[in-house]
Structure 1
Amino acid sequence: MKDEKYILKWLNGEIPDEELSLLKQDKSFKNLEKIAHYSSQIETPKVDIEKALKEFGLKKTTVKKSKVISFNYKSVYKYAAAVIVLLVSSYFLFFNNSASFSTQYAETKTFNLPDNSEVILNANSNISFNKKKWEDNRNLQLDGEAYFKVKKGKSFTVNTSLGKVTVLGTQFNVKKRKNFFEVKTFEGLVSVQYKNTLVKLAKGKVFKVINDTIQGVTTFNINDKYWLQNESNFKSIPLKFVIDDLQNQYDYTVSTKNINLDQLYTGGFTHTDINIALQAITIPLQLSYTIEGKNITIYKNDK
């Protein structure tokens, strides 16, 4: 921008409406807004400007006693603050290349990666990656669950705290929750690494780890994409993981009473009706439930 005094006035909230109108006409104003936005989120070091300038003034007068140096502290402070804003914010605009997508409870999100690979992120999940290096390094971090439609190209890697999944171009689902890791291949061939175990998963194959124990490789119906169709389905899964999934999809707090959470559950529940979902879980296991506000209690009746 040509006139820095407008910028300083704007940063300090002292610019008149007519000057602000001129400033907004400048094609660089959007970048300036980004700088102001990022800088407002940074806590800069606290400096005693009066003391620092006073010491600086004393040093100058010691060298040249004949000169009388005076400072407009308020003006110097404003310029110094503006310089700090510009320098620190430049880092976020030009060097911070991380990108992330996240979902809350009972929320899903669909987005494209820089190579146009598609990701559908399930509830209570997060994905992060380096967008600048993406062309040469298709590498991302996942916490939660996501379905991937990967464009063919260089190696594509999904990292989780429990295992790593690598492909070239395919469709697959990765689920990483506490003490639970699962990979399903819907198209192509997927390489899964869990600690020292490396498994190749062809279309229709699923690899699962529960409580740090590998369950092996089994088959599944590729036409059933489950949570993508607003359903959660399970085959011989401990009840505690089913309840965790219910909480993610409905944003309810679930407590249990007199229940063995390690008992295995086979079945599923809908994501569209909490009562129908709870009935699908409790009836096969001969359990009961109550709902009070956003709290659910699942219990076993003592007869």
Structure 2
Amino acid sequence: MSKENDILKWFNGEISSEEIKELYPNEDFSVLEKAGFYAKQITVPEVDAQKALADFKTRTFNKQESKVIPLNFKSFLKIAAIFVVLLASSYFLFFNNIKSFETQIAETRVFNLPDNSEVILNAQSHLTYNKKEWKNNRTLNLDGEAFFKVTKGEKFTVNTAAGSIQVLGTQFNVKERDNYFEVQCYEGSVSVTSDKGKVVLTPGKTFRIIKDEVILVKDFIAENPSWIAQESSFDNVPLWQVIDELEVQFDMSISVENINTAKLFSGSFTHKDKNVALQSVTIPLNLSYKINGNKVEFYNYAKN
């Protein structure tokens, strides 16, 4: 049992990797090193490894058989590795409480949170929350865009890379893409906190940050975001952001040639027809486009 005891000490950090290899230079510790690494990444209930190993060696699967089968070193390595894998599996099955929702290109998803609040997730978005802590801490993490219908209750928080939104019970839309952050309030009031400060939105108000610049947006009148009805709408939004949204709603990559993508666009495009959507964006800006597979190029009319 000397080797087994030394390995158990190594698992517990009582012996370093260098020391265990010096004690047994001819043994292959690569499997246990990997198992040990992954074991340290998770938190699991404490286990008396010595007792567990002793119980395993003395246990018999046949009540009529009393003979104890000797446990050689290689068998111990296999058992130790399996033991760690089982602990890891138990962790992910019983101790991991993070709930995750994700959408792909051109996909939207509707679901309810534990408090019956409704979330509609727009295309290419990702949302997570801790279901175990939800009752006392209604906090979510969002990457992308989502519309929330929040039931009244404790503080409800949506965290994004660009800022956080807090409400008690209301309806609001959050859009967080690269260099673009927008919050629109549809009902109740919404508190938005970012590195630009804090602002409280009332129904019909919008807060928008484009490349670190806060943009004042005129009031809007709508019951829901247009994208829920499969249409993206824009009010003085840079063309590069409109292009990004086209790529989110359609499986295509858009390039531009000699075009100022900072020019502002007001309008909308449908999610149902790619050509109609492209025309809805290019025609008002006096642009044209050509399609090559899933690649699209925007260019000025003057191009031959």
Could you state the TM-score of these two structures normalised by the residue count of structure 1? 0.74
Residues 207, 218 of structure 1: 8 Å contact kept:
no
By how many angstroms is 1:118 displaced? 0.8
By how many angstroms is 1:234 displaced? 0.7
By how many angstroms is 1:112 displaced? 1.2
Q: Check if 1:169 corresponds to 2:160.
A: no
Task: Please list the CA deviations of residues 46-100 of structure 1 after superposition, one character each: whole Å capped at 9, or x if unmatched.
Answer: 9xxxxxxxxxxxxxxxxxxxxxx96445654554344223222222123211111
Higher deviation after alignment, 75-84 or 154-163 = 75-84
Report what 1:119 is aligned to.
Answer: 119
Q: Check if 1:44 corresponds to 2:8.
A: no
Q: Check if 1:106 corresponds to 2:106.
A: yes
**Structure 2 stretches lacking a partner, 5+ long:** 1-33, 38-68
Report what 1:158 is aligned to.
Answer: 158
Report what 1:210 is aligned to.
Answer: 210
| Distance in 1, Cα, partners of 2:206 & 2:141 | 20
The one-letter amino acid paired with 2:118 is: E
| Distance in 2, Cα, partners of 1:261 & 1:147 | 27
Classify the secondary structure of the residue corresponding to 1:255.
strand
Classify the secondary structure of the residue corresponding to 1:261.
coil
Task: Please list the CA deviations of residues 130-186 of structure 1 after superposition, one character each: whole Å capped at 9, or x if unmatched.
Answer: 111111000111111000011110000001111111000111100011111111111
Classify the secondary structure of the residue corresponding to 2:285.
coil
| Distance in 2, Cα, partners of 1:212 & 1:293 | 35
The one-letter amino acid paired with 2:35 is: T
Report what 1:131 is aligned to.
Answer: 131
Higher deviation after alignment, 293-302 or 83-92 = 83-92
Classify the secondary structure of the residue corresponding to 2:237.
strand
Report what 2:3 is aligned to.
Answer: none
Higher deviation after alignment, 235-244 or 208-217 = 208-217
Cα 1:223–1:88 change in 2 (3 A) is: closer
Report how many residues are paired: 239
Report what 1:55 is aligned to.
Answer: none
Could you state the TM-score of these two structures normalised by the residue count of structure 2? 0.74
| Distance in 1, Cα, partners of 2:71 & 2:131 | 46
Matches within 5 A, 1:1-303: 44-45=35-36, 71-72=71-72, 75-216=75-216, 218-223=218-223, 225-302=225-302
By how many angstroms is 1:271 displaced? 0.3
Task: Please list the CA deviations of residues 102-125 of structure 1 after superposition, one character each: whole Å capped at 9, or x if unmatched.
Answer: 111111111111211111000111
| Distance in 1, Cα, partners of 2:107 & 2:96 | 27
The one-letter amino acid paired with 2:289 is: Y
Work out the percentage of aligned pairs sharing the same amino acid.
54
**Structure 1 stretches lacking a partner, 5+ long:** 1-42, 47-68
Residues 147, 171 of structure 2: 8 Å contact kept:
yes
| Distance in 2, Cα, partners of 1:71 & 1:162 | 57
